[in-house]
Amino acid sequence: MTDPASGGASSDVCYRHPNRQSFVLCQRCGRTICADCQTPAAVGFHCPECMRESRKTAPRTKPAVITALRPGSSAPVVTWTLIAICIVVYLAQIFSGGAVTNALFYHPALTESQPWRMITSLFVHSPSSFIHILFNMFSLFVIGPILELAIGRWRFIALYLLSGFGGSVAVLLLAPTSGVLGASGAIFGLLGAFFVIQRSLGGRNMQIVFVIVINLVLGFIIPNVSWQAHLGGLIVGGIVAFVFLRTRAIRKQNEQRLLLFAVLAGLVVLTVVGVVMLQGRLV
């Protein structure tokens, strides 16, 4: 018995290795193939030639990292990036012997000369307490993807940074002698936004209220925890979420940008007021 596809070779031997007996046929071309020439397919096996042909005609898929960056992707890229930045900065804090911490943390006395610290402080954490960054990053990992998917990446960035800025402003106004660092102000902003959005959609929000209250209370009980940053971030996060809800329609996108700018401007004004008040105390 012969196999026409194998050019007259015996059908019970491999078409590439005539000295090897086999009874397995390629699912596509029907040639006999030995164990070394078999590639498992969705159904049966394929010979090397058919595999090469299928690879040529198969559509090319882009790496998951690239597809995740597409506008329509649901991957929480911003959340992952924020977590990665905080982890990298934390490692830099440890290995720099405190130099990175000193360069990025926020103290109200430095507001006039180095105002950027009001934002950079969101990315540094206490080098002496691993629990600090662990708790903040876990909270961001849990709630970040939900909000990022709900409001979009650029809105999520705006929410996070404005909330963190709001936390620093609250520290300037309410605790002008305290230095702070950590992402908790921004994370409380996410909690505040989540509460406002969920409430507007008619969802049950007692659990999120419980989480907010417990964390605020812990800020008063646990030493070296800035409840002022928590409160400031919470309030600003709620305001930003309210802006998003009132300007959801596409025709209101310009109004949304204007209102977000107004929130930013308001925080800048409060910062100036805080600096003036701080200078008055020092006189």
Cite the active site residues: 184, 230
Distance CA 29, CA 54 (A): 12
Q: 172 CB contacts (<8 Å, ≥6 apart)?
A: 108, 111, 118, 270, 271, 274, 275, 278
- By DSSP bridging, strand 39-40 and strand 45-46 are antiparallel
Calculate the alpha carbon distances from 108 to 61, 211, 231, 244, 275 in Å.
51, 28, 17, 30, 8
Structure tokens at 174: 């309410």
- Check: CB of residue 193 under 8 Å from CB of residue 260: no
Give the bridge partners for 106, in sequence order. 180
